[in-house]
Amino acid sequence: MGEVIGVLLVTIVLPLVVVLHYVTKWKEAKGLSREEEQMLEEIWESAQKMESRINSLETILDAQAPEWRKRV
């Protein structure tokens, strides 16, 4: 079950830290360059893919180990 927690932390916490880091950087700047806009779009797409994967993982865990949420 420790692996599940590790996977969830890496798939949820790490992307949030990256996104929040860049949001903070972008707020400090007056505007975004085209390169920064493209990077933000790529990060957004990656975050949406990760969210989908997390939802799939949670569905699998709910089916295979219904009590997993109580352990977290």
Q: What is the 3-state secondary structure (H, E, C) of 28-62?
A: HCCCCCHHHHHHHHHHHHHHHHHHHHHHHHHHHHH
Write the pLDDT tens digit of every residue in 1-13. Answer: 667 777 777 788 7
- Look at residue 72 in the predicted model and tell me its pLDDT: 66
14 or 56, higher pLDDT: 56
C-alpha distances in Å from residue 48, one per residue of 1, 5, 13, 64? 25, 20, 14, 24
Per-residue model confidence as pLDDT tens digits over 24-62: 887 777 677 889 889 999 999 999 999 999 999 999 999
